[in-house]
Amino acid sequence: MVLKQKIHEAFKGAVESITSHRTVSAFKEKGVLSVNEFIIAGDNLVSKCPTWSWESGEPNKRKPYLPADKQFLITRNVPCLRRAASVEEEYEAAGGEVLLDNEDNDGWLATHGKPRESKSDDNENLPSMDTLEISKKNTKKNTIQSIPSYFGGEDEDNIPEMDELEDVDNLIETDPATLETPYLVAHEPDDDNILRTRTYDVSITYDKYYQTPRIWLTGYDESRMLLESKRVLEDVSQDHAHKTVTVEDHPHLSGKHASIHPCRHGAVMKNLIDVLMSRGGEPEVDKYLFLFLKFIASVIPTIEYDYTMDFDLGSSSS
Amino acid sequence: MDVDAEEGTLLKFAPFQSTVDEGFWHRLSSLKLNKLRLDESPMPITGFLAPCSHKQVPSRLTLLAESLPSEDQKQSSSLPATLNQGNRNRCPVPGILYNTNTLEGFNAIDRVSLLETEAKKIWDDIHNGKVEESSSVLLRFMVISFAELKNWSFCYWFAFPALMLDPAARVVSLRSASQCLSLEQAESLSSACNEWQNLNLDVTAGVLFFLVCIASDSRVTLRHLADWEACMDDGQKVLFGFYDPCNVPYPGWPLRNYLAYICIRWGLEKVHFLCYRETRGFADLGFSLIGEASISVSPEWKTRDCTPKAVGWEVNKGNAKPNFISLAKAMDPTSLAISSA
């Protein structure tokens, strides 16, 4: 699997280096984007959803066909309150919307409107994720195991000894004006009653080979430490966790990150666009990323990144 | 959220939280190997901050690869400065990095005096007017670290120095901003804040702290700190506003040094402040807070020679201890060689 992936990456890299990037629009015909269209769609995303921004990334990884200041899109510090698997289970058990049981009882719906909405409300019209040709075998929890933290857990032995603290008067612990943070959570890995607020940095790059946007995930645990990629998979819909999500070098940042493989993105986007057109809508390319992010929400249902809630893709004539 | 009932209680501040992007450690490692080598001199770094935009998590002070100078000096001088501009989600904050060569050196750092040194810089910037030029100096932070490059592990500890008012500030009122303003005022404030975000995209200075001027006709304008006297002459109601990274019904850490600044610079004893927060990147006044603090520090505290006490070492996982991260899996040369082949 890994070798196959490497060979494919090498092939892809070779093809990318000798082919020129797409300049003719095939957005409606194939669901793909040209470089210019990616910039247009990205600019629109940044202006409608300001938590997203363009970034330039590592200077030595810069792609010449993209502007230096618009290499990729990123939104940081996005909350992820629950594991995708537990939401799926509860959703199935309750047969629909589930109230998350956090202490505030402020009525968070596990559906969060977005991802499930597309499945329940628009089920007849929108193509389901089955177009990704993924079997539904592994939906059960057994795919999720508690893995010791990447940076704690098994590595605990390697932590160097620290001197005990003798000077406490400079610590905020002892200062009466420092609020004791009420949102620190416990760390029992298997206690499902604990609300585990992970956060994610979600980035969108342009994949020149597939001519589509591509999603990358960098996760942080409750104590803001990097999540191992295996644990990132807990936040991916179990239909996709071990199939469409791979761990690869980020094209613009350091290190290895989880990514939703873009091989079927064009086809899914084409289906979504066809549905819109059959309803009499005229899809506009600057809204591509809103539609794309709505589709991605079905893969990562609990990562609450922003995209406009009530977008209307294109001008509906009727 | 209503604290009116407890009038006169101590004003509490939610501490800052830090996060470090993997890219920061990658760049620090290569800087250390190729350029700094055994040089232990403190290095200026840049942290990045935004107002809180998700109710479930506070915003964090983030270190990215770009927080460090690039290895190639030519690039570092031209690119990051221009590329950081125009990104509303990345307001730059000045910091300093003390990276030691050995674990013994890390443990031997005198954290008390280091914190005092940084706090003194903030104190001096308040007195010499630097805050008006670039208000982000109020958020000056510090990181001590030890990079064990043999096994790609890193020890680090953040400090967010905060001057301690003596005696501490008390809270007169603190509630949701939408409860404190009329509908017209709230609407005008929201649009002024959203505009401010865009207006200041090209000027990195003076964004994080600002004045909110409410005219008698409910029209709200935002102005730079330096305009305080002019605002008072206009007879407008003035709130001291700041980008609040915090997501709980208490003011965030930046207010601490802000109050010290207001107290020293403008001699106020009653301070009306706005903790500005957002939802999905737009002003959210239901989530933002408006409060009134009362400050009555001793006269000596305001003199320039006085060095006030400071707090600010970050509490990690509930303990006063450094953070530890191992990137062996991500930085192992064997796996890197395979992936780059």
In this prediction, residue B318 carries a pLDDT of: 77
What residues pair up with B170 in beta bridges, in sequence order?
B10, B294
Band the pLDDT of A171: cuts 50, 70, 90.
low
Residue entry with tokens 């959803």: A49
Cα distance between residue B310 and residue B159, in whole Å? 11
B210: Cα separation from own chain's centroid? 14
Based on its alpha-carbon atoms, the radius of gyration of chain A, rounded to whole angstroms, reads 21
Q: Which two tokens stand for residue A121?
A: 């409300």
Band the pLDDT of A166: cuts 50, 70, 90.
very low
pLDDT in tens, B291-301: 999 998 888 88
pLDDT at A164 over 50: no
Band the pLDDT of A173: cuts 50, 70, 90.
low
Band the pLDDT of A94: cuts 50, 70, 90.
low
In this prediction, residue B203 carries a pLDDT of: 57
Pairing type for strands B282-283 and B153-163 reads unpaired
Check for a shared fold between B14-165+307-340 and B170-302.
yes
In this prediction, residue B18 carries a pLDDT of: 94
CB-CB neighbours of B90 under 10 Å: 23
A154: Cα separation from own chain's centroid? 27
Q: Once rounded to an integer, what is the mean pLDDT over residues B52-73?
A: 88
Q: Once rounded to an integer, what is the mean pLDDT over residues A149-164?
A: 42
Residue A3 forms contact with B (CB below 8 Å): no
CB contact under 8 A, A77 and B19: yes
In this prediction, residue B338 carries a pLDDT of: 60
Q: What is the largest CA-CA distance in chain A?
A: 73
- Comparing B265 with B333, the larger pLDDT belongs to B265
In this prediction, residue A10 carries a pLDDT of: 79
Residue closest to B161 by CA, chosen among B113, B205, B208, B122: B122
In this prediction, residue B246 carries a pLDDT of: 93
Q: Among positive and negative, which fits the CA dihedral A138, A142, A143, A144? A: positive
Q: Among positive and negative, which fits the CA dihedral B203, B204, B206, B207? A: positive
Domain boundaries, chain B: 14-165+307-340, 170-302
In this prediction, residue A196 carries a pLDDT of: 60
pLDDT in tens, B30-42: 999 998 889 999 9
In this prediction, residue A266 carries a pLDDT of: 93
- Comparing A89 with B213, the larger pLDDT belongs to B213
Q: B281 near B142, Cβ under 8 Å?
A: no
**Alpha helices in A197-317, H assignment, sequence order:** 229-232, 265-278, 288-296
- φ, ψ dihedrals at A67, nearest 5°: -60, 145
- φ, ψ dihedrals at A187, nearest 5°: -125, 20
pLDDT at B74 over 70: no
In this prediction, residue A93 carries a pLDDT of: 59
Chain B nearest-CA residue for A180: B14
Q: A98 near A90, Cβ under 8 Å?
A: yes
pLDDT at A145 over 60: no
pLDDT in tens, A244-302: 898 899 999 998 899 999 998 999 999 999 988 888 888 889 999 999 999 999 899 99
- Comparing A316 with B270, the larger pLDDT belongs to B270
- φ, ψ dihedrals at B192, nearest 5°: -65, -40
Would you state the torsion angle of the CA atoms of residues A263, A265, A268, A273, taken in this order, to the nearest 10 degrees? -140
A263 is an active site residue: yes
Chain A nearest-CA residue for B328: A151
3-state class percentages of chain B: helix first, strand second, coil last, to nearest 5: 35, 30, 35
Would you state the torsion angle of the CA atoms of residues A280, A283, A289, A290, taken in this order, to the nearest 10 degrees? -40
Q: What is the DSSP string of B251-307?
A: -BTHHHHHHHHHHHHH--SEEEEEEE-EETTEE-TTTSEEEEEE----GGGGSTT--
What residues pair up with A78 in beta bridges, in sequence order?
A200
> Which residues of chain A does B163 touch, with a Cβ-Cβ cutoff of 8 Å?
none
- φ, ψ dihedrals at A16, nearest 5°: -60, -35
B207: Cα separation from own chain's centroid? 12
Q: Which regions of A117-235 does DSSP assign to beta strands (E)?
A: 198-207, 212-220
Q: Once rounded to an integer, what is the mean pLDDT over residues B225-230?
A: 90
Band the pLDDT of A120: cuts 50, 70, 90.
very low
Residue closest to B284 by CA, chosen among B190, B209, B181, B196: B190
pLDDT at A143 over 60: no
Partner residue opposite B325 with nearest CB, options A59, A151, A173: A151
Let me know if domain B170-302 sits in CATH 3.40.140.100.
yes
Judge if the upstream peptide bond of residue B167 is cis by omega within 30 degrees of 0.
Answer: yes
pLDDT at B197 over 60: yes
Q: Which of A131-145, A300-314, B171-185 has the lowest mean pLDDT?
A: A131-145
Partner residue opposite A177 with nearest CB, options B11, B19, B321: B11
Task: Using DSSP, state whether A47 is helix, strand or coil.
Answer: helix
> Which residues of chain A does B169 touch, with a Cβ-Cβ cutoff of 8 Å?
177
Band the pLDDT of B4: cuts 50, 70, 90.
very low
CA distance B216 to chain A (A): 31
Q: A134 near A215, Cβ under 8 Å?
A: no
pLDDT at A86 over 80: no
Q: Once rounded to an integer, what is the mean pLDDT over residues B18-47?
A: 93
Cα distance between residue A82 and residue A75, in whole Å? 19
Q: Which two tokens stand for residue A241?
A: 């966790």
CB contact under 8 A, A184 and B27: no
Cα distance between residue A291 and residue A139, in whole Å? 25
Cα distance between residue B10 and residue B15, in whole Å? 15
CB-CB neighbours of B50 under 10 Å: 25
Cα distance between residue A271 and residue A263, in whole Å? 14
Q: Once rounded to an integer, what is the mean pLDDT over residues B87-109?
A: 93
Q: Which two tokens stand for residue B222?
A: 């935002």
**CATH entry, B14-165+307-340, from 3.40.50.800, 3.40.50.150, 3.30.420.40, 3.40.140.70:** 3.40.140.70
pLDDT in tens, A11-36: 787 777 777 777 778 888 899 999 99
Q: Which of A141-145, B21-25, B237-241, B264-268 has the lowest mean pLDDT?
A: A141-145
B62: Cα separation from own chain's centroid? 10
In this prediction, residue B125 carries a pLDDT of: 95
Q: Which two tokens stand for residue B318?
A: 């509930």
- How many residues make up chain A in this entry? 318
ipTM of the predicted structure? 0.90
CA distance A318 to chain B (A): 31
Domain boundaries, chain A: 2-135+196-309
Q: Which of A87-91, A107-111, B220-224 has the lowest mean pLDDT?
A: A107-111
In this prediction, residue A310 carries a pLDDT of: 55
What residues pair up with B325 in beta bridges, in sequence order?
B154
Q: Which two tokens stand for residue A179?
A: 């609020």
> Which residues of chain A does B329 touch, with a Cβ-Cβ cutoff of 8 Å?
150, 228
> Which residues of chain A does B312 touch, with a Cβ-Cβ cutoff of 8 Å?
170, 172
Residue closest to B211 by CA, chosen among B220, B199, B202: B220
pLDDT in tens, B254-289: 999 999 999 999 999 999 999 999 998 999 999 999
Residue closest to B331 by CA, chosen among B156, B154, B68, B155: B154
CB contact under 8 A, B248 and A179: yes
pLDDT at A234 over 70: yes
